[in-house]
Chain A
Amino acid sequence: MKYVDEFRDPEKAKALFREIEALAARIETRDGKPLQVMEVCGGHTHSIFRYGLEAMLPEKIELVHGPGCPVCVLPMGRVDDCVALAERPEVIFTTFGDAMRVPGSKKSLLQAKAEGADVRMVYSPLDALALARDNPEREVVFFALGFETTMPSTALTVLQAEAEGIENFSLFCNHITIIPTIKAILDSPDLRIDGFLGPGHVSMVIGNQPYDFIARHYKRPVVIAGFEPLDILHALWMLLKQFAEGRCAVENQYDRIVPSDGNRQALEAVARVFELREFFEWRGLGSIDHSGMRIREAYARFDAERRFPLPQVKIADPKSCQCGEVLKGVIKPWQCKVFGKACTPETPMGALMVSSEGACAAYYQYGGGARQRAPVEAAE
């Protein structure tokens, strides 16, 4: 436990590690394979690596780093659409900073900006709306992305634009929704996941209830967790307790932030502005039914997809990438053929190397501690 002193409350962390160890010892696993716990949220992935949690856990527990980084899972064709929008002379293309470096088939937004496109990083969609207000002769497009955590902010910004009668503002909507994504993972034939750490801030918006089907239908426990290291340990302990007691339920470790019904105002705004797409393409996972959101007909004038011609070309993931298998826990990042060789954070090929919250980038950056276990496992 060489990093445990880094925890805000090292005593509590030590106690949790001890309890986790004791519970893990009691649990019988299938075929002697480790229990696979998927953290769905990229924020969790980041914390797990930053604090080296994985290497400190008993070998019986294996963490699988799920698809919860919206920047990582953005398909190349959508980035190409962003670039095409940004390169229109009348457009000011606004985006969160995270999306700037995501590679398209030809270039990223950062490269488009360097070549003269008017791409501006904003902190909030409200800042994009302010740009529209201040530049009535230009078309301001906001690149809306993220799961339910950021959906209310873009929905409320569209409602604000409508209330003010702002005509030169639109969204390029790439919001994705978590439940169909988890369902697609659960339905995949090579699935081995035994339980889930549920995302904290998505759940702050949607509440606990949408996860019930995972426990009821798929018989996998879910514990919604905060992103602080002690939250994650606490949630893992709660999950192990369910395994040890043979229970299967949705529990909420992060109840200081996550109300069981979610955030009513946020959900209302989302429901007013957005509706489900029939399907949405993901980097690494392919097409998932009902996993993306689009703008409702009533707000069509704020929809960049309707207002501007877009290439909308589907670009296949590079064949050598094994992001999908990593996402589902079938292989570990370093077992991918291109990991650290053709695919690095500087020149990402696959989804999971793109953002610091992606599993491969995190292994690449902090890999040491977690990968030390690999030779041991190989020797067994």
Chain B
Amino acid sequence: MCLGIPGRIVEITDAERKLGLVEVAGVGRQVNLACIVDEEHPLEACVGDWVLVHVGFAMSRIDEDQAAETLAILAELGEVQEELAAMRASGKA
């Protein structure tokens, strides 16, 4: 819930609701991008960006190396499986 998990924005799926498909460790999930979109980063320009996702919301942009390192640590902490299981079980947003 609090740690967040890194993922990569694959496509914008719903511009009006600011939703995008984010791939997190091989699992695709609809994520709200409202908190990382601003004048400098319009919605369409976010595709390809790595982000830290908290409970279905992208909260921060991160770089790719950082994303890989964070995922590895989360795996060691036992958080990745839990997070992915919750995402899968929750189904569509």
Contact = CB atoms under 8 A, between A and B. Distances in A.
A269 B34 contact: yes
Given A8-B72, A264-B38, A150 B55 contact: yes
Contact of A228 (B30, B34, B73, B83): B73
A328 interface: no
A150 to B, nearest CB: 6
Contacts of A228: 69-70, 73
Given A153-B54, A153-B56, A257-B52, 10 more contacts: A98-B1, A121-B90, A123-B90, A125-B56, A127-B90, A149-B4, A149-B59, A204-B59, A257-B62, A269-B35
Contacts, number: 116
A14 interface: no
A198 to B, nearest CB: 14
Given A8-B69, A265-B34, A124 B56 contact: yes
Contact of B38 (A126, A153, A265): A265
Main secondary structure of the interface of B (DSSP, over half): mixed
B73 A263 contact: no
Interface of B: 1-4, 17, 30, 32, 34-38, 52, 54-57, 59-60, 62-63, 66, 69-70, 72-73, 76-77, 82-83, 86-87, 89-93
Contacts of A149: 1-2, 4, 54, 59
A156 B34 contact: yes
Going nearest first, the 3 A-B pairs with the smallest beta carbon separation are A124-B56, A123-B90, A123-B86
Nearest to B4: A201
A147 B3 CA distance: 12
B36 to A, nearest CB: 8
A45 to B, nearest CB: 11
Contacts of A160: 17, 32
A20 to B, nearest CB: 20
Contacts of A153: 32, 54-57
A139 B42 CA distance: 35
B43 to A, nearest CB: 12
29 contacts: A8-B69, A8-B72, A41-B2, A43-B3, A97-B82, A98-B1, A121-B89, A124-B55, A124-B90, A125-B56, A127-B92, A127-B93, A146-B1, A149-B1, A149-B4, A150-B55, A153-B54, A153-B56, A156-B57, A163-B17, A201-B54, A204-B52, A204-B59, A228-B70, A256-B63, A263-B35, A265-B37, A266-B35, A266-B59
